[in-house]
Each structure stands twice: as structure tokens, then as C-alpha cells.
């Protein structure tokens, strides 16, 4: 196990274990194997999962899970810091959620516990709106900031909740990463050489559902990273599992790697440097990074990046490799700010990319957890699409009941809410793509009866070779509904 404070490791673990994430830097602590934890010392109403001894679940009384339990890690040393980001990987069935907290030691004094909010993939999640009163630290959405002095220790606490005694969350990982004060992550020590570009599907966020497109760089980045392995999630599906209600958007760093974790991937958010990126690329994993840039060399307010698609004050993109052309070092990226999927694959000059990546914040998304392969795909439910007489409107039929999508669910965007829905459809015209998200998608509206508006005759005229329409009804914190409309001649 990585990152346990000296003198406490023997209490926390009764035998040696191995972490799944290699080469974690000293500023990042990852707890990802709970198989030998001293349950009495560090947990309350938790136990190891019967099917996975590395994971924690709520205890049971008889056949019922208790409503709440918690894990408190030992305090651990870190390089001096002012900023800390927490991460977690958890499964949250309907009726369950997790809450991660951290406290920091500043010049010998402990702060209060600060929460990253209640999080679940099956309910609306939210960072905190009212932080606890504390003179030492404060949380801002996804980052705990030291108010004065320097912090040198931290401690994590995780609460598991359920409102359904038949269900429990499953905790796979909790982590913390800090931006060190005395080690300049902007310095390129170049201790690792790599000349490799990882083949990764590229998606433009600009061509996705128009109400979501402006703000889904983070879930689109996660989608590309996990789909590069063996997932097949649409950016809209990822976004609607990644909304931070309090923040009002999809860019919460901690929520984003938690999304990847919920799909069965070992994932966490970390502050790192260029060598950290090189090592991940060498190991075969693209890395999400938080950047800001301008395409205008005359704009002195933002770092200039040649070949950038536009200007952005804050953006996530996926680093897929490092290479050299004509003696110049480049970083290969999939940048969802591009206008098309094909143009999202870009090369940025290393020194310009480095300045744009001034945050040094990265999404480390590794391999699947063994035994969790079934989670790699978003949960989708097959439904019937019942046409009206003119085949211009289709009623969703699910489990022998009509399911209506109202216009406000389709158009709700300010703010996004619990009923926000996307209806996307694609045509089968005999073309194959590596992932579903690389197909061409259009977006449908609904009528006042809650039916999907699709004019089959017009679609067939425009696409005479199409044999099938596949419709995806992506819902916030809920299963995606999938229906098919045959276009075969009668």
C-alpha cells in the first residue's frame, strides 16, 4: 500500500499489500487495497466486501445493511502545500452515496474536516455550498485551500450512506494529492524519455448535444480515456453522470475521476509534472489535464498555443503522447474544443503546452479493476419506440408502460437539474467506427405528448442506405434508454 505514515502502517495493515497504481509521486497518497485493514482501528460499521476483499462495504445486521459507515485513514505526511484535491472510486447503487472529507495540519494545528459533498452516479451529486467555519482551510468545489501558513500533513475520511437496506456503496479507492510548495512542478526534469502516441478515440464536444456542449470538456476527456481501453460511453452519458449541482457544471475534478472509477477503472486526480505524464504514456495510459490557452499570439492574458482551436480560461484535454518532429518536441493531444472529431487530434509544442498546463492538475486513469469488467459500459435499458400513424412521433414504451420526456427535460440548461435529458440518434448506414461516440449523431426534440419527434420518411429520403435508427435517451443519474427503429423496406 502506498503513502501510509511511518509508525501507523503496522496498525492500518496487518500484512504487506500492493497498490494498483505504480510510481505515485510523494505529493500523492493513494489508498486502494483494504484487504488487510484493521477494521476496529480505522472503520466504523464497515467491512471488506465478500466478493472483493480489497473493497469496503457497509456492515449488515441480518440481511439489512446499516445506513452509514465510515473509514478514517491514518494521518500522512506530505510536502508543504496550500492546495489539496481528494479522489475516490466507489460504486453507488440506487439509494446509496459516498462523502469524502479531508483535514490538514497547518504549522502543527489540525483544521476542521472539509467535505467534497455527497456523490453518487444514481442521484444528483453536489459539492458543498456552505463550508464549515475554519480559520486554517476552506474548500472551493474540488480543492481544499490553506488560508495561512503551510500544511504538511493530511487525513482522509469517507462516509458510506444508504437509504435502502438491501444496497450498499462499494469503496475501492480514496486518495489525496497536493501541489508542493518547494518542488516546482513547472520544471521539466526530463528524467523519462518517451516517443509514443497512444491510439485513442477523439471526440469534439462542440458537435454534441448543444445544451451540454459548451461545458463538457471534462466528461468528454474521461470518455476518450476509458473508451480507449474497453468502455463505450457517450460524452452525454458521461456528462449526465458528472454534474455537480452546486457548481452548476460538469468540470468538478474529483467528480470526474470518480466517474471513471464508477466504470471500474483505477482513477484519481493528481498534481504532477511532465515526467509524470511521460510515465503514464510509457505505461500505456492517456492523461487528462487542465489547461488554459489562446490561439492568438497577441493575447497577453493567456498562454499562447500554436494550433489551438480557440481561447479558453479553463479546459480539460487528453494527452495521448509525446513525439519529436524536425527536432521539435511535441505533445500529442485529443482536444475536444476542436470543431470536429477528426480535427481533435492535435500536436502542441511542448514548451507551449507546458505553459498552458500551468495548473499541473491531471486525471490519472489506469487499468480496469480485476473482476469489475461488467461496469465498463454505461447501464442501458432497451425500450420500444411505438410510432404514431405518420411515423413522425414515437412513444417510449418501457416495461409495458409509457415513458414521457417533456420539452422542459430536453431544454433545461439553466440550471441543469435532476430531469435534464438528451435524446441522441444515429443511423446504421453500413459504416463501422471504433466506438459508438464516433458515429454521427443528431439530436431530437419531443412533442407536447412526450413523444420523440423523428420524421422517418424525411430521414429515409436523406439517407437511402440507412437500415436502422438507434435512439439514445440519456438521463441524469439514471440508465440510458435505447430504442431502435427499423428502416428496412416493407
CATH number of 196-368: 3.90.70.10
pLDDT, mean of residues 117-139:
96
Please determine, for residue 13, whether its predicted confidence score (pLDDT) is greater than 60: no
Residues near 101 by beta carbon (within 8 Å), at least 6 away in sequence:
113, 114, 115, 116, 156, 157, 158, 159
- Model confidence at 148, pLDDT cuts 50, 70, 90, reads very high
Scanning 147-245, the segments in alpha helix (DSSP H) are 217-229, 235-239
> Nearest-CA neighbor of 168 among 60, 87, 96?
96
Q: How far is Cα 52 from Cα 172, in angstroms, rounded to an integer?
A: 9
More confident residue, 167 or 418: 167
pLDDT digits (tens, 9 = 90+) for 351-406: 999 999 999 999 999 999 999 988 888 999 999 999 999 999 999 999 999 999 99
* Contact between residue 224 and residue 334 where contact means Cβ atoms under 8 Å apart: yes
Give the integer Cα–Cα distance in Å for 99 and 113: 12
Q: Quote the pTM value.
A: 0.94
Fold of 379-486: Immunoglobulin-like (2.60.40)
CB 101 within 8 A of CB 128: no
3-state secondary structure of 465: coil
Whether the predicted pLDDT of 154 surpasses 90: yes
Neighbours of 201 (CB within 10 A): 21
Give the three cell numbers for residue 440: 454521427
Please name which of 173, 82, 185, 145 lies closest in space to residue 364, comparing C-alpha atoms: 173
**Residue in the structure block whose three cell numbers are 524519455:** 193
Residue 181: CB atoms within 10 Å: 15
The answer to whether residue 191 scores a pLDDT higher than 90 is no
Please tell me the distance from the alpha carbon of residue 443 to that of residue 345, in angstroms, as a whole number.
24
Residue 16: pLDDT band (50, 70, 90) is: very low
Q: In angstroms, rounded to a whole number, what is the distance separating the alpha carbons of residues 275 and 284?
A: 14
Total length of the chain: 490
Task: Delimit the domains of the chain by residue range.
Answer: 9-180, 196-368, 379-486
DSSP 236-287: HHHHTTS-BTTTTBS--HHHHHHHHHHTTEEEEEEE--HHHHHHHHHHT--E
Give the pLDDT confidence of 440-486 residue by residue, as tens digits: 999 999 999 999 999 999 999 999 999 999 999 999 999 999 999 99
Question: Is residue 438 within 8 Å of 475, Cβ to Cβ?
Answer: no
Q: What is the DSSP string of 124-136?
A: -BB--SSPPP-SS
Could you please state the CATH topology (level 3) that the domain comprising 9-180 is classified under: Jelly Rolls (2.60.120)
Amino acid at each position: 500500500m502506498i503513502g501510509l505514515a511511518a509508525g501507523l502502517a503496522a496498525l492500518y495493515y496487518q500484512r504487506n499489500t500492493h497498490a494498483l497504481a505504480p510510481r505515485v509521486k510523494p505529493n500523492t497518497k493513494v489508498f486502494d487495497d483494504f484487504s488487510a485493514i484493521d477494521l476496529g482501528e480505522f472503520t466504523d460499521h464497515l467491512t471488506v466486501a465478500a466478493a472483493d476483499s480489497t473493497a469496503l462495504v457497509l456492515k449488515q445486521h441480518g440481511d439489512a445493511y446499516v445506513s452509514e459507515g465510515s473509514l478514517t485513514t491514518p494521518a500522512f505526511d506530505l510536502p508543504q502545500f496550500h492546495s489539496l484535491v481528494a479522489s475516490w472510486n466507489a460504486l453507488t447503487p440506487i439509494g446509496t452515496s459516498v462523502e469524502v472529507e479531508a483535514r490538514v495540519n497547518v504549522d502543527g494545528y489540525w483544521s476542521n474536516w472539509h467535505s467534497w459533498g455527497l456523490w453518487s452516479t444514481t442521484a444528483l451529486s453536489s459539492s458543498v455550498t456552505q463550508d464549515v467555519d475554519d480559520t486554517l482551510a476552506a474548500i472551493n468545489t474540488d480543492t481544499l485551500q490553506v488560508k495561512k501558513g503551510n500544511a504538511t500533513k493530511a487525513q482522509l475520511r469517507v462516509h458510506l450512506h444508504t437509504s435502502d437496506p438491501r444496497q450498499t456503496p462499494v469503496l475501492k479507492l480514496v486518495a489525496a494529492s497536493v501541489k508542493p510548495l518547494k518542488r516546482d512542478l513547472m520544471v521539466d526534469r526530463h528524467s523519462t524519455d518517451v516517443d509514443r502516441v497512444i491510439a485513442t478515440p477523439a471526440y469534439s464536444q462542440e458537435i454534441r448535444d448543444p445544451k451540454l456542449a459548451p461545458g463538457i470538456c471534462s466528461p468528454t476527456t474521461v470518455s476518450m480515456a476509458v473508451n480507449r481501453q474497453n468502455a463505450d460511453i457517450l460524452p452525454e452519458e458521461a456528462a449526465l453522470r458528472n454534474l455537480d449541482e452546486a457548481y452548476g457544471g460538469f468540470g468538478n475534478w474529483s467528480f470526474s475521476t470518480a466517474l471513471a472509477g464508477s466504470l471500474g477503472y483505477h482513477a484519481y486526480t493528481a498534481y504532477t509534472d511532465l515526467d509524470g505524464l511521460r510515465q503514464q504514456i510509457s505505461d500505456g495510459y492517456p492523461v487528462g489535464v487542465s489547461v488554459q490557452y489562446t490561439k492568438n499570439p497577441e493575447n497577453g492574458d493567456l498562454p499562447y498555443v500554436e494550433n489551438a482551436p480557440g481561447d479558453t480560461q479553463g479546459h480539460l484535454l487528453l494527452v495521448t503522447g509525446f513525439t519529436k518532429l524536425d527536432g521539435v518536441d511535441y505533445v500529442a493531444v485529443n482536444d475536444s474544443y476542436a470543431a470536429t472529431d477528426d480535427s481533435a487530434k492535435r500536436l502542441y509544442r511542448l514548451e507551449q503546452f507546458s505553459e498552458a498546463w500551468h495548473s499541473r492538475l491531471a486525471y490519472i486513469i489506469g487499468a480496469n479493476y480485476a473482476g469489475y469488467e461488467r461496469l465498463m459500459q454505461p447501464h442501458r435499458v432497451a425500450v420500444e419506440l411505438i410510432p404514431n400513424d405518420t411515423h413522425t412521433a414515437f412513444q417510449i414504451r418501457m416495461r409495458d408502460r409509457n415513458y414521457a420526456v417533456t420539452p422542459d427535460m430536453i431544454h433545461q440548461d439553466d440550471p441543469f437539474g435532476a430531469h435534464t435529458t438528451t435524446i441522441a440518434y444515429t443511423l446504421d448506414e453500413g459504416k463501422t467506427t471504433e466506438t459508438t461516440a464516433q458515429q454521427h449523431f443528431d439530436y431530437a426534440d419531443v412533442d407536447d405528448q412526450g413523444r420523440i419527434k423523428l420524421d422517418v420518411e424525411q430521414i429515409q429520403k436523406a439517407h437511402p442506405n440507412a437500415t436502422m435508427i438507434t435512439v439514445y435517451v440519456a438521463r441524469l443519474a439514471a440508465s440510458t434508454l435505447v430504442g431502435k427503429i427499423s428502416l428496412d423496406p416493407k
